[in-house]
């Protein structure tokens, strides 16, 4: 009984530490730019196109960091700790340094740190939960970005009232406090990790191995569509809402609402039974996000933006959880490489989103067309996931028959 209690306590320690890590790396390191962008636009430090470029540079860093994960042989706990400290330093740098060149370097580096922290914290945390027999706590881990987004959305705008420099420095100091709180937990399970096997799933017949490789390629490709589909709204939501609702206090609250919606979405997603097909779950999640994006176009009111933020946020890290779960289905304990490639694909989508949206919005004076394209991309992704599932099911039935 004591062993079960110890395992459950260790599982909660791991889940909460990874939740904090993702809140810092993703919620603060990556998405603090969303609530800070309107402040920097108002101060005249950036225009919309320069803001879009900074966002894309961050996502370029995320892509490069994710792509490098497959080649990195450093202990996951060390990668997480290093990424967290660097994220806090880079947030502070955004307030202490001035100029587009400096910000470009900082935002690119922040993207690299976000990817490293995300991939290695995910791998470390899911392995610890498997070791302790409580895999359902994975939802706690992936609630982290939502909590971070909600905090940055609420505090970023408030602190930004004293200027963008004070906002960035305040967020950097907050990150340091959170890193200190989770630091020592990442030493748990070091011996178990050293002994863990990294061999691929054993006993696969050649035909099955070929099917698994095909599934892996589809996962990598289609996961990138999710990156493009959500990022335009995620980058420019406060700007879009302020344009549609001039003078309203609500635009600053839609981004925190998005973040808060991530938390129940992650927790509910983690409760999805293991026998439910991840590809179908991803298809449903993509459609929900597509609907959330469309609502900001067809119903640009307080209610429309609020509902759209909820529909965009709830599947946000549930999509990540289902994709990571599918990677483990395909690669078992050696899934880090596949997770890295899938995350890199996601990063490509995120790079292209702002580069496509910002110039078009600046020329037309509206985000309508970029948002409709984003919704269409998510819908196509959902249809393709459903087709891949159906093809796999049909092949299994034929083989069984």
pLDDT band at 372; cut points 50, 70, 90: very high
Burial class (CB in 10 A: 0-12, 13-18, 19+), 382: buried
Angle at 350 between CA 92 and CA 58, to 5 degrees: 20
CA distance 33 to 381: 27
CA distance 122 to 321: 9
* Per-residue pLDDT reduced to its tens digit, 206-260: 556 666 788 889 999 999 999 999 888 887 888 888 888 988 888 888 989 999 9
Average per-residue pLDDT in the chain?
86
**3 state SS of 140:** helix
pLDDT beyond 90 at 310? yes
Q: What global pTM score does this model have? A: 0.82
Q: Across residues 260-270, what is the average pLDDT? A: 92
Q: Assign residue 46 a region: left if phi > 0, alpha if psi is -120 to 50, beta otherwise? A: beta
Per the CB < 8 A criterion, the answer to whether 150 and 260 are in contact is: yes
Q: Return the pLDDT at 88.
A: 97
pLDDT band at 157; cut points 50, 70, 90: low
Rg (CA), the chain: 20
pLDDT band at 302; cut points 50, 70, 90: very high
Of 3 and 89, more confident:
89
Angle at 172 between CA 168 and CA 176, to 5 degrees: 170
DSSP 317-376: HHHHHHHHHHHHHHHGGG-HHHHHHHHHHHHHHHHHHHHHHHHHHHHHS-SHHHHHHHHH
């Amino acid at each position: 009984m004591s062993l079960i209690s110890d395992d459950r306590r260790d599982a909660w320690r791991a889940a909460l530490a990874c939740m904090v890590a993702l809140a810092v790396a993703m919620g603060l390191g990556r998405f603090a730019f969303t609530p800070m962008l309107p402040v920097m636009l108002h101060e005249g430090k950036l225009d919309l196109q320069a803001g879009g470029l900074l966002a894309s540079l961050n996502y370029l860093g995320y892509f490069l960091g994710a792509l490098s994960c497959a080649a990195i042989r450093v202990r996951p706990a060390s990668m997480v700790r290093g990424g967290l400290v660097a994220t806090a330093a880079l947030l502070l740098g955004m307030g202490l340094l001035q100029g587009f060149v400096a910000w470009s370097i900082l935002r690119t580096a922040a993207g690299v740190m976000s990817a490293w922290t995300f991939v290695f914290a995910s791998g470390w945390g899911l392995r610890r939960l498997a070791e302790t027999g409580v895999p359902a706590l994975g939802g706690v881990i992936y609630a982290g970005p939502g909590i971070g987004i909600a905090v940055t959305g609420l505090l970023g705008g408030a602190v930004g009232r004293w200027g963008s420099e004070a906002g960035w420095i305040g967020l950097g100091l907050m990150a340091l406090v959170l890193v200190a709180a989770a630091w020592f937990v990442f030493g748990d399970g070091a011996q178990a990790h050293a002994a863990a096997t990294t061999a691929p799933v054993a006993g696969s017949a050649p035909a099955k191995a070929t099917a698994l490789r095909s599934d892996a390629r589809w996962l990598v490709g289609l996961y990138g569509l999710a990156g493009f589909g959500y990022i335009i709204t995620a980058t420019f939501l406060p700007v879009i809402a302020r344009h549609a609702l001039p003078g309203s206090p609500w635009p600053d609250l839609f981004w925190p609402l998005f973040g808060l919606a991530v938390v129940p979405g992650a927790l509910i997603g983690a409760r999805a039974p293991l026998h439910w097909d991840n590809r179908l779950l991803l298809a449903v999640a993509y459609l929900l996000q597509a609907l959330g994006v469309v609502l900001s176009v067809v119903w640009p009111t307080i209610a429309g933006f609020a509902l759209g933020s909820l529909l965009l946020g709830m599947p946000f890290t549930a999509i990540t959880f289902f994709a990571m779960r599918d990677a483990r289905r395909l690669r078992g304990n050696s899934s880090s490489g596949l997770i890295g490639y899938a995350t890199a694909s996601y990063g490509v989508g995120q790079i292209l989103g702002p580069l496509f949206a910002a110039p078009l919005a600046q020329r037309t004076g509206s985000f309508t067309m970029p948002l409709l394209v984003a919704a269409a991309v998510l819908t196509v992704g959902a249809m393709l996931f459903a087709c891949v599932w159906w093809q796999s099911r049909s092949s299994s039935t034929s083989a069984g028959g």
